[in-house]
């Protein structure tokens, strides 16, 4: 063990009369609290962003390929792509899944209620993972090759508003120019995502229902939805899809289709930066205060060490090692508390939310050890950097004056 490490490990260890000991404890707990707040802030906000993003993407996709003549979800121009073109998109790096879809606007009617809806038709290639995870009752519709499926799933909002449940007959009317066509679907499942923008309007069923209503051929659809393997590389995958798609087709990303939603989610990053900045300053100020008090209290010891031949660099290293131990202890304590609180919230959902305001029932937490590591290392480096200035005061201490006062 080096000389500096030996001295640093001994002083303030057993002498309970030290004035700086309570301040050291306060600094340790302050750093721990700061780390807890920083980690939970990042995990919660990232969890919130991920939850909202997954719901928005769940109703649509990461990338959409459709006609340039598209106007809205009520009036679409059909697209027909060959099997080879679709397979070429499936083989692109970064593309996880490709599925056809079509929308049709209409109305759901009961004896005393009427509600405008958007019918989303999907085929057998539909990735149902999102809706399976959000089903509250019933099951998904079964698509068969031989006949058009008459089953649909609706949201819990539509279910409560119209008095429909699994097994109910949903009378639906679709406008066709100056007339309309009626369809009687059977509700087999109820889903709930808490995104009112979608839950208030969308029902899901067989793509062939839309094709028959629009008098399209079996190969004609409104477009193709593509899911990507890595959302962080969405723009790169989008570029590859555009390069491998016919020029008469429009290729857009979910960020382009939902700009307000993702601008709001990106705005949350500024909140994360603000919280991290404030707590980092608090942690640095706390450990700097503790170090200054230790230096002032141990002035005579510093003078004695210098008389015995210790250099300013050695004495400074003693106090830096002691301060690093305080910071390290606080960080480890903060990591442990943050991990415990995060696990409790993830498993038991203790903190609930108003679904009308937050579009989810409980506070989401994205526990990622990368966040723990980055915040811990950054806090340690910031605190040590902040200690360089107060530790330079050691060089100004003169042994003759300090020992004379003793």
Alpha carbon 371 to its chain's center: 12
Please give the residue that has the higher pLDDT: either 386 or 342. Answer: 342
Alpha helix (H) residue ranges in 308-368: 312-348, 355-358
Which residues are CB-neighbours of 161 under 8 A, at least 6 positions away? 113, 115
Encoded tokens for 4: 């500096």
Q: Domains of the chain: which residue ranges?
A: 3-55+262-405, 69-247
Which residues have a Cβ under 8 Å from the Cβ of 177 and sit 6 or more positions away? none
User: pTM to 2 decimals?
Assistant: 0.81
In degrees, rounded to 5, the angle at the alpha carbon of residue 319 between the alpha carbons of residues 316 and 321 is 105
Secondary structure tally for the chain: helices H, strands E: 15, 10
The token pair that represents 396 in the structure block: 């100004």
Residue 14: burial class (beta carbons within 10 Å; 0-12, 13-18, 19+): exposed
Range in 146-160, 204-218, 258-272 with the lowest mean pLDDT: 258-272
337: left (phi over 0), alpha (psi -120 to 50) or beta: alpha
351: which 2 tokens? 């903190």
Measured distance between the N- and C-terminal CA atoms of the chain, rounded to whole angstroms: 30
Range 364-371, long-range pairs (CB < 8 A, 24+ positions) = 364/44, 364/47, 364/48, 364/50, 364/51, 365/40, 365/43, 365/44, 365/47, 366/43, 366/44, 366/46, 366/47, 366/50, 367/43, 367/339, 367/342, 367/343, 368/43, 368/46, 371/39, 371/42, 371/43, 371/46
Least confident of 8-12, 38-42, 58-62, 270-274: 8-12
Please, where are the H alpha helices in 60-186?
Answer: 83-90, 129-133, 156-162
Q: In sequence order, what are the beta bridge partners of 104? A: 119
Which pLDDT does position 175 carry in this prediction?
A: 80
Give the Cα separation of 314 and 291 in Å (integer).
Answer: 16
Residues present in the chain in total = 406
Tokens representing residue 243 in the block: 């390069």
What are 82-113's pLDDT values in tens digits? Answer: 999 999 999 999 999 999 999 998 999 888 88
**Exposure string for 331-369, b = 16+ CB within 10 A, e = fewer:** bebbbebbbebbeebbeeeeeebebeebbbebbbbbbee
- Torsion sign (Cα): 45, 49, 55, 58: negative
The rounded distance, in Å, linking the Cα atoms of 376 and 331 is 6
With beta carbons less than 8 A apart as the criterion, state whether 295 and 24 touch: no
Q: pLDDT averaged over the chain?
A: 85
- Residue 140, C-beta contacts closer than 8 angstroms, at least 6 positions apart: 128, 131, 132, 153, 188, 189
Give the SS3 label for residue 203. Answer: strand
Residue 23 — very low, low, confident or very high, per pLDDT cuts 50/70/90?
confident
On the question of pLDDT at 319 being above 70, the answer is: yes
**8 A C-beta contact, residue 77 and residue 70:** yes
Per residue in 111-166, pLDDT (tens digit) is 888 999 999 999 999 999 999 999 999 999 998 877 899 999 999 999 999 999 99
Contact 107, 172 (CB under 8 A): yes
**Is the separation of the CB atoms in 298 and 10 below 8 Å?**
no
């Amino acid at each position: 063990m080096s000389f500096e490490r030996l001295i640093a490990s001994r002083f303030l260890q057993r002498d309970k009369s030290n004035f700086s000991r309570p301040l050291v404890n306060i600094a340790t707990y302050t750093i721990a609290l700061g780390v807890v707040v920083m980690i939970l802030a990042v995990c919660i906000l990232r969890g919130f962003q991920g939850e909202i993003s997954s719901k928005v993407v769940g109703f649509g996709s990461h990338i959409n390929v459709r006609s340039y003549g598209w106007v809205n979800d009520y009036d679409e121009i059909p697209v027909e792509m060959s099997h080879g073109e679709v397979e070429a998109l499936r083989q692109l790096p970064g593309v996880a899944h490709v599925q056809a879809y079509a929308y049709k606007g209409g109305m759901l009617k009961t004896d005393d209620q009427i509600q405008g809806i958007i019918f989303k038709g999907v085929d057998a290639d539909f990735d149902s993972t999102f809706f399976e995870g959000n089903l509250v009752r019933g099951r998904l519709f079964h698509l068969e090759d031989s006949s058009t499926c008459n089953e649909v799933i609706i949201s819990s909002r539509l279910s409560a508003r119209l008095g429909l449940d699994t097994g109910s007959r949903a009378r639906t009317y679709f406008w066709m120019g100056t007339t309309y066509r009626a369809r009687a679907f059977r509700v087999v499942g109820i889903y709930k995502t808490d995104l009112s923008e979608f839950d208030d309007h969308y029902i899901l069923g067989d793509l062939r229902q839309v094709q028959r209503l629009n008098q399209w051929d079996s190969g004609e659809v409104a477009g193709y939805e593509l899911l990507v393997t890595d959302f962080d590389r969405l723009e790169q995958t989008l570029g590859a899809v555009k390069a491998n798609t016919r020029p008469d087709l429009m290729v857009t990303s979910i960020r382009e289709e939902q700009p307000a939603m993702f601008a709001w989610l990106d705005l949350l990053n500024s909140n994360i930066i603000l919280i991290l900045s404030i707590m980092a300053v608090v942690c640095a100020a706390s450990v700097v205060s503790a170090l200054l008090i230790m230096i002032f209290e141990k002035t005579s010891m510093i003078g004695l060490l210098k008389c015995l031949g210790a250099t300013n660099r050695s004495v400074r290293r003693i106090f830096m090692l002691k301060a690093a131990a305080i910071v390290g202890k606080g960080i480890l304590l903060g990591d442990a508390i943050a991990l415990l609180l995060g696990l409790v919230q993830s498993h038991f959902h203790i903190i609930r939310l108003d679904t009308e305001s937050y579009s989810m029932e409980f506070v989401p937490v994205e526990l990622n050890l990368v966040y723990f590591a980055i915040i811990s290392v950054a806090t340690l480096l910031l605190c040590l950097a902040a200690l360089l200035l107060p530790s330079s005061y050691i060089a100004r201490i003169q042994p003759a004056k300090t020992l004379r006062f003793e």
